[in-house]
Chain A
Amino acid sequence: MSMTDAQPVKIAQDRPATPAPAAGPVVFDVQNVGVSYDGNMAVHEVSMPIHARQVTAIIGPSGCGKSTFIRVFNHMNDLIPGAEVHGKVLYHGEDLYGKDVDPVEVRKQIGMVFQKPNPFPKSIYDNVAFGPRVLGWKKGLDERVERALNRAALWDEVKDRLKSSALGLSGGQQQRLCIARALATEPEVILMDEPASALDPIATTRIEDLMHELKRDYTILIVTHNMQQAARVADMTAFFSVDVAPEGKRTGILVEYDETTKIFTQPSDQRTEDYVTGRFG
C-alpha cells in the first residue's frame, strides 16, 4: 500500500492484516495466545505470524503485557510460579508448548536479551563462552567467542581485555556483550526486551544499527516503549494495549499488527492512531 494513498483505510479486522508479500517464511505462528498469572489474564487472545529475518517490534503502553508476551517464545514464563500460557505457538509448525517440548532446548534456539544489561560477574570471554560450554561445544571455543563478539560489534573494543571482568564495561558495551552471549549459541531467533531502555542515545544507536545488521541472519523480536525506535528498526510492528474490564482487571490485548510504515502512517485502529500520534500513553 503506498504512502500517498489519501484515504485512511479503517476496516475492523478480527485477524490482523497479512503482511507484505516480501516477508520471509513464518517462524512463529501465534494462535490465540494468552498468559495468566494465578488465573488473572495478563495477555489475552493474541494471534499473529512472525516472519523470518525481519525485525518485529511490539509496542504499547506500560502494563500492556509486551514483556510477558515476548517471554512466551522462550518459555521464560515457566520460571514464574503461577504463570500459565494458553493457546498455541507454532515454531516452524511445531507446538512450542507441546507435551514433549523441553524449555531448555527451546531456549538454545531462541536467545534473549534483557532490558537491563545482565552480564555474568565473570570475564568478558567467559560470558560469551558460557552458552557454548553449557551446550558442551568445546572445540573452537576461541573462534566461537571471537565470531560472536564480532557480530555484536564489540570485538574491537574488547579484544585486548577478554580476561577482564565484564562488569567493567560501559552499559552499552555490556548490552552488546549480552547480545554476543546470546549469539554464541547460534540461535535462530533473538528476543529483545526493551534492550536499549537503560542506555544513552549513542549506545542506543549502536544497538539499533546492530539490529539492522543482525536481521540478515536472525529473526528478531523486540519489545520497546520507544515508538521512534520501533519506527527505525522494525519491519513489522504490533501495537498492544490495555483492556480495562468494568471491575478493574487489566488485560493486555493485541490491537493491530501490520507493516511498521503502515502502523505509523495509516493505522487502521483509532487506538493505534491515538498512541502513535502521542495522544495516549
Chain B
Amino acid sequence: MSVQATHLRRRGRDYREMLFKSALLVSLIIGFATLIALLVDVFVTGWSHVTWQFLTSPPSTDPTIAGARPAILATIFLGIMLIVFTVPIGVGTAIYLEEYANRKRWYNRMLEVNIQNLAAVPSIVYGILGLAFIVRGIGLGRVLLAGGLILTLVVLPTVIIAAREAIRSVPDSIRQGAYAIGATQWQVVRRQVLPAAIPGIATGAILALSRGLGETAPLILIGAVSYIAFDPTILGPFTALPIQIYQWVRLPQEEFRELAAAAIIVLLVILLSLNAVAIWLRNRYQRRW
C-alpha cells in the first residue's frame, strides 16, 4: 500500500509549472495593464472636454471654443465610403477566388499570393501610391474622396481575406446539395453560399473598417489638412479624427493636448462600437452545420 501511495504523491514539478503559469500571467498583465493605463490617462485628461460643444464646433486657435466636428464628420464619411467601395469589390474578388477560379491556373495562384502580400504592405506605401496615382495621376486632388479611395486600397486585402474565409467555411455539402437539385453555379453562390457566409463577411468588413478609420499615415501623406472650419464634402479638403489628434498633440499649449485626448475618446468610442457590432454579429449568426 505504502509503495502505491508514493506513486500518487506529487513529485517536485510544481515549481516549473508555477513558473510557467506566472510567465503567462505576466505577459497578460503587460498587455492588459498598458491598455488600461492608456485608457485611464486618456479619459482622465480628455473626458471633461467631450462636450456637445466639442462635438459640434469646428477647430479653432482658441482651445476653449475649438471642436472636432469636421473631423468627426469626415471620419463618418470615410467609413461610409469604405463600406461602399470595399464590400462589393472585396466580396466579388473572394467569390471569384473561392468559387470560380481554377487553382491549377498560374494567374489565379499569383492573384492569391498577391492578395496575401498586399495585406502586409505598410499603409504609408498605399499613401505614396495614392498620392502618385489618385491625387496627382488622375488629378482628383487632396479631397475626401481621394482619402476614401486610398483607405479602400489599404483595407481591401483584409476584406478579401475575411470574405474568403467566410465563404470557405460554408461546407461543401451545401453546395453539392444545391447543385444536385439543379441549381446553376450562380444560383448556388447567390442563394446558398452567400447567405450562409454573410455573418462572416460582415464581421470581417467591420473589423477592416475600424482598421481603416484608425489609419493616419496615408491620409497625412496625401495632404489631409488639420484646420477646416467648415463641414467636409466629398470633393473638398478634409481632415479626419486621427489627423486632428495628431495635429493637436503637436501644438505647444497644454489645452490642445486635452482636446486631443477628447478626440481620442471619440475615435475610440466609434471604433469600439464597430468592434462590438462585429462581435454581436458573429455571436448572433454563429452556425453549426
At the interface with chain A, which of B31-39, B78-86, B169-177, B237-245? B169-177
* A122 contact set on B, CB distance < 8 A: 195
Q: Is A66 an interface residue (CB 8 A)?
A: no
How many angstroms between the C-alpha atoms of A105 and B103 in the bound complex? 27
CB distance from A165 to the nearest CB of B (A): 10
Question: Which residues of chain B from 86 to 140 have any CB-CB distance to chain A below 8 Å in the complex?
Answer: 102-104
How many angstroms between the C-alpha atoms of A74 and B103 in the bound complex? 24
Interface pair B176/A79, CB less than 8 Å apart: yes
Known interface pairs A81-B102, A104-B184. Does A114 touch B173 (Cβ–Cβ under 8 Å)?
Answer: yes
Cβ contact of B192, chosen from A111, A120, A181, cutoff 8 A: A120
Question: Which residues of chain A from 28 to 56 have any CB-CB distance to chain B below 8 Å in the complex?
Answer: none
Interface pair B182/A131, CB less than 8 Å apart: yes
Q: Which of B177, B195, B196 has the most CB of A within 10 A?
A: B177
Cβ contact of B104, chosen from A74, A76, A81, cutoff 8 A: A81
Question: Which residues of chain A from 106 to 131 have any CB-CB distance to chain B below 8 Å in the complex?
Answer: 107-108, 111-112, 114, 116, 118-122, 130-131
Residues of A in contact with B, size category: 20 to 34
Known interface pairs A81-B102, A134-B187. Does A107 touch B180 (Cβ–Cβ under 8 Å)?
Answer: yes
What are the interface flags for A239-260 relative to B under an 8 Å C-beta threshold, 1 for contact and 0 otherwise? 0000000000000000000000
- The count of residues in chain B whose C-beta lies closer than 8 Å to any C-beta of chain A is 24
Interface pair B182/A118, CB less than 8 Å apart: no
* B250 contact set on A, CB distance < 8 A: none
CB distance from B83 to the nearest CB of A (A): 25
* B175 contact set on A, CB distance < 8 A: 79
Interface pair B182/A76, CB less than 8 Å apart: no
Q: Closest chain A residue to B171 by CB distance?
A: A118
Interface pair B176/A118, CB less than 8 Å apart: yes
* B181 contact set on A, CB distance < 8 A: 107-108, 111, 130-131, 134, 181-182, 185
* A134 contact set on B, CB distance < 8 A: 178, 181-184, 187, 191
Q: Closest chain B residue to A184 by CB distance?
A: B181
What are the interface flags for B175-218 relative to A under an 8 Å C-beta threshold, 1 for contact and 0 otherwise? 11111111110010001100110000000000000000000000
Interface pair B182/A104, CB less than 8 Å apart: yes
Q: Closest chain B residue to A131 by CB distance?
A: B181
Q: Is A214 an interface residue (CB 8 A)?
A: no
How many angstroms between the C-alpha atoms of A134 and B171 in the bound complex? 20
How many angstroms between the C-alpha atoms of A107 and B182 in the bound complex? 5
What are the interface flags for B246-289 relative to A under an 8 Å C-beta threshold, 1 for contact and 0 otherwise? 00000000000000000000000000000000000000000111
What are the interface flags for A163-198 relative to B under an 8 Å C-beta threshold, 1 for contact and 0 otherwise? 000010000000000100110010000000000000
Taking A131-B181, A182-B180 as known contacts, 4 extra A-B pairs with beta carbons closer than 8 A to each other, sorted by chain A number, are A74-B180, A79-B176, A121-B196, A131-B182
